[in-house]
Structure formats: structure tokens, C-alpha cells
A and B are shown apart, each in its own frame.
Chain A
Amino acid sequence: MNMKNTKLTQEEIIETTKTFLSEEFEVDENSILPDNNLKETLDLDSLDYVDLVVVIEENFGIKLTGEDFKEIVTFLDFYELVEAKL
């Protein structure tokens, strides 16, 4: 699915994100909440960030960089970044 150039609402971004992140990182969908810490919830190590970039590109058609992730602490930060990049 490639949603670049498609205007998504934040609710749609949240729903899509929940689905692909829970599938990729094998975590409970219900743990993906706006105020939760993204790194801790998904149990990410340095290698996992590469796979995070891959699934974001596959699902939203945008490629994030290491610099982008420096600003992301919570899922809400992530949703806002995606919204801005789309």
C-alpha cells in the first residue's frame, strides 16, 4: 500500500500504523497508544529501526531517516511526523 500524496486524517494514520506495527514487531495492538513510548513499546534495538523505515515506506510511501527518529519519543510524535511528511 502506498499512501503518499493521499491526504489521510490522523485517525486513519493511527489505525494503519497500529496494524502494520503490531504485525511487524509482534506486539499487542492495544499497546500502541499515542502517549506510549515508541521504542519501549515496540522493543526496538538499533537494527529494528531499519525495519521500521522499511514498513513505514511500504505503508505510507515515505522514507524516514535517522534524523527523523531523533525527534520521535511517543507514538503521537510519530503520527504527527507522518502527517507532516505525507
Chain B
Amino acid sequence: MNQRVVITGIGIYSCLGNNLQEVRDSLYNGKSGIGIDEARKEFGYRSPLTGLIETPDLKPFLSRRARVGMGQPAIFAYTSTREALGQAGLDIDFLENNETGIIFGNDSTAEAVIETVDKARLKKDTTLIGSGAIFQNMNCTVNMNLSTIFKLKGVNFTLSAACASGSHSIGMAYLLIKHGYQNRVVCGGAQEVNIYTMGSFDGLGVFSVREDDPTAASRPFDRDRDGLIPSGGAATVILESYESAVKRGANILAEIIGYGFSSNGDHISNPNLDGQTRSLNMALSQAKIDAEEIDYINAHATSTPVGDSTEAQAILEVLGDKVPVSSTKSMTGHECWMAGASEIVYSLLMMQNDFIAPNINFENPDEHSAKINIINQTKQQKINCFLSNSFGFGGTNSTLIIRKVS
């Protein structure tokens, strides 16, 4: 079986905005979502810079029972998924009666786990931790909560693959639909934003410390970058077989035509040119298109010297020096587990509105970024086909290629 796989709904909750419209405007205007969280300094962070995002109150939408098992990842993911399902025209009645799966990317629940352990230490009695903790603590928290709330009855597991989690979740759902095992899957990525989750990452000394100018701190591909900025929220992408989408009269946003993946089998944190090029080449070969057909590349580039340089070399080697490239992390910071899904949403918003969002703060190239076509000002341009990279710790690589449906 070889079904076409299309996207029928997207949703977003990020430091660029609380919904698709706000995020589209931020992308177009090159507006950064980065700021300072003073609590991080007090906690011992080297850098207080972060994507600024509030935790939404779900009381107007969900019962107490539904909410007690939800920590930040599930709360963010509920918000983006609600928007995506709405756009896709999928309500709970439909979902309850038409098998729909969920594969969500997530790789931490640090805040919930730490608060649980603190409570257990204080009370010395596990009953007094409360009933919600277990459902907040498990890494599959988004899947457990959303499958219950939205009555999803298809495939149901969490995808944990570091900063490529969101991208692989889409890739995995794509494969399940393509080969006929599912007709519809809710995918995406969630990333908690709090002082507990990023402390150990900050400890590696890879975060920017440009505190005097937070919105200029994330500068992927720029010669003068000094590190990444952690961020988060959630993004949802609804995947569906083409036949299923047409049958129910859904609005088709685009089609997934390629998913490449690879593992470096090398260093735990350093990127690897061979691993990245294998992922890119696999996606291109699966899409059965030439590099020239790619109108835009949403780069993984996080604003670290070694990561950006390696990706610039991989892009040059596989896709050449002409394709427009930008890293939306220049505005969002690194949305980690969520990034691979949010960057599909960002790129789809560009595709729908005929523009390329800028790689803000790209002022001076380095040796490798000088050789590719990085866009640092909003560019009006039709995008028929785009490619999005996601690379994670442990050497996990993912590449998605998405095209308009003709």
C-alpha cells in the first residue's frame, strides 16, 4: 500500500504567539520571542535568556479530572492541538467514531518530576503526592492526556528523540499512513519552559549570555553568535491520508513527500556531517525530486558555532548554494523537543502566505554560512516545496520535505 499523506490542520503555542495568526505576524515581522527570566540567575543558571511563554489556564475548557494529570508539556500540547483539530474540522464526535492516532514528540517532564519528589520528601508519604503526579511525570504525558481528552482510538505512543522528537513524530506518522496502517494521526512536539528543565543543558555552557540585548542573542549562522537560547511551547500537525481528507471534504494544506532519518553513531552531542547528509539525501530520494525543486529550507541551526557550520556544509553539499535558507530559531530560540514540529508549522505559514521568514540577527557570515543563501530580511516569495531539518543529541537526524498539493 502506498497512500499519499497530507496535512489538514496545524496549531501552535509558542513564544511568537498563542495561535496561528499571531505567530504568522511575528514570523513576517521578524519579531523575536526571547527575553530574560531572572529566576534562572537565582537558580544558578549561567544564562537567564529564554523564550518567553505563559502557561495557559485550561479551566474554561477542561474538567478538574482532565486537568490534574497535565503538566506544562500536556497543557501546551492541548492548546496547539485544539487549534489544529479545529482547523482540520475534526471534533470529538468524529474522532470517537473514526480511528485516529496520536504520536507526539516529548523528551522531558522535569518540572513535574521535581515537584513530585520534593513533595514526597516533605511528606514522607507517597499517597500525599496526589493522583495527578504520575500522569504529569511520565514522558508520555502528552499522549496519555490528549488521547483521553480527544477520544483518540488509533496508534498511541510518544516519540522521544531529543531535539528531533517533533520531526520524527511527523515522520513516523507519515510512514504509518503511507503504508496503510492509519488514516489519520495527530502529531507534534511539546517542550516545557521552566527553570528545572534546562539547568543541565545550561551547565554545558552552550547557551548565549548576551543579556544586554536578548532579541539579538539568537543568531544562527552569524559569525558573532555565542550560543543557543532555550525555548518551548507546543506545535501540532494533523496528518491524514489523501483519500481520507478528500472523502470528508477537508482543506488540504500540503503533502508530505519525503522523510529522511539517520543516526550519527558518533559523539553524543557533537553534530556529524555524514549523518546529516545521509538524512537529507534519504528525504530527497524518497520525495523523488531534484534539489532545485526545494524553494526554502528551514534549517535546524540553533546558534552554536559547530552545529550551524556542520549544517551549512550539509546544505551546500546536498542542496547547493542557491536555495533560500533561514533558521526561525533566530526568533524563537531552540524549541528542542517541539522544534521539529513547530518549524513545520512556521514553514507552512510561510507557504500559505507567500513569504520567507527572516533569519534575524544574521549580519556577518562565517566560513561555511557564507557559502549558502541565508535570508535575513523577510522575502516575498511563493513556496511550492520546502525542506525542514532537525538534529538532536545522540546523533539523531530527521529531514522532512513538504509540497503544495496541486
Residues of A that sit less than 8 Å from B by CB: 24-26, 45, 47-48, 50-51, 53-54, 57, 63
Contact = CB atoms under 8 A, between A and B. Distances in A.
Given A53-B127, A63-B127, 5 more contacts: A50-B127, A50-B131, A51-B130, A51-B131, A54-B127
Contacts of A26: 63-64
Contact of A47 (B65, B123, B125, B128): B65
B61 to A, nearest CB: 13
Contacts of B64: 24-26
A63 B129 CA distance: 13
Chain A interface main SS type? helix
Interface in B121-138: 123, 125, 127-132
B166 to A, nearest CB: 30
Interface residues of B, number: 12
Nearest to A47: B131
Contacts of B63: 26
A63 B130 contact: no
Interface string B121-158: 00101011111100000000000000000000000000
Contacts of B127: 50, 53-54, 63
Nearest to B135: A47
B113 interface: no
A25 B63 CA distance: 9
A51 B129 CA distance: 8
Contacts of B125: 63
B68 interface: yes
A45 B65 CA distance: 9
A71 B350 CA distance: 62
Nearest to A53: B127
A51 B68 contact: yes
A53 B129 CA distance: 10
Nearest to B59: A26
A63 B128 contact: yes
Interface in B42-88: 63-65, 68
A54 B123 CA distance: 10
Contacts of A53: 127-128
B130 A50 contact: yes
A24 B64 CA distance: 8
Contacts of A47: 65, 131
A66 to B, nearest CB: 10
7 contacts: A25-B64, A26-B63, A51-B130, A53-B128, A54-B128, A54-B130, A63-B128
Nearest to A54: B130
